[in-house]
Copies of this chain bind each other. A is one copy, B any other.
Amino acid sequence: MSHNTDSETEKLIKEAAKKVFFSQGKIHANMQEIADEAGVNRALLHYYFRNRERLLLVILEEAMIDSHQVMIKVLTSNMSLEDKIKSTIDYMIDRFIDYPYMQAFIINEVTNNENSRLLHERHIAPFFNQLLEEIEKLIKQNNLAHKNSKQFLINLMSLMHYPLISKKIISNIFNYSDDEYKQFIMDRKEIILNVMLQRKN
């Protein structure tokens, strides 16, 4: 690599790490593998991020912000119920179809690393209260079949995230190519909406 200006290389490395962790799901990836993916020397990773833990924490924080801003942005907008849910699903899937293992990474970090859990608790969790209030309003206003906003939220998250996390499993059991898997996920946009709104599909 030839002399990138300022923080562009930092970004390059972060993107490489995200590719390895979020796209390829290589949860045990070491510094060398990330350096290879970035096409730079391993020493450069330490130059920018000091150590492995910090690099992971940085991309974790960006993933958390990414992931949860999606929902808050759409759900606090001025749309109808259907459009809010629809936009959330559409945007989430479009945004993360190429990062299927991002949620798995977040889950794993929060589960296994106390610092990551604190990061989640401080920066992410508080916003969920806001989100739950919003969902409760939706349920009342639209007389939804679901009554419990927490369960509603987890249902939605389950239907969106699990099929991404289990990309390999799904491809394996249905014998899907990458394109077929992608189509399967795209088809879910409408299906998830219908399930959440209790409609036929």
Interface residues of A (CB under 8 A from B): 25-28, 101, 104, 106-108, 110-112, 117, 120-121, 124-125, 128, 145-148, 150-151, 154-155, 157-159, 161-163, 165-170, 172-175, 184, 187-188, 191, 194-195, 198-201
Whether A154 and B163, one on each chain, are in contact in the complex, defined by CB atoms closer than 8 angstroms, is yes
**Residue with the greatest number of chain B CB neighbours at <10 A, chosen from A158, A168, A170:** A158
Chain A interface SS verdict (over half): helix
Would you mind naming 30 contact pairs between A and B with Cβ atoms under 8 Å apart? A25-B108, A25-B112, A27-B27, A27-B111, A104-B107, A107-B165, A107-B168, A111-B168, A121-B172, A124-B173, A128-B174, A145-B194, A145-B199, A145-B200, A145-B201, A146-B195, A146-B201, A148-B187, A148-B201, A150-B174, A151-B188, A154-B163, A155-B191, A155-B195, A158-B158, A158-B159, A158-B162, A161-B162, A195-B198, A198-B199
Residue from B117, B172, B194 within 8 A of A172 (CB atoms): B117
Copies of this chain assembled into the complex: 2
Which 9 A-B pairs have CB atoms at the shortest separation, nearest pair first? A158-B162, A162-B162, A128-B173, A145-B200, A25-B111, A158-B158, A111-B168, A125-B173, A110-B168
Whether B201 and A147, one on each chain, are in contact in the complex, defined by CB atoms closer than 8 angstroms, is yes
CB distance from A93 to the nearest CB of B (A): 13
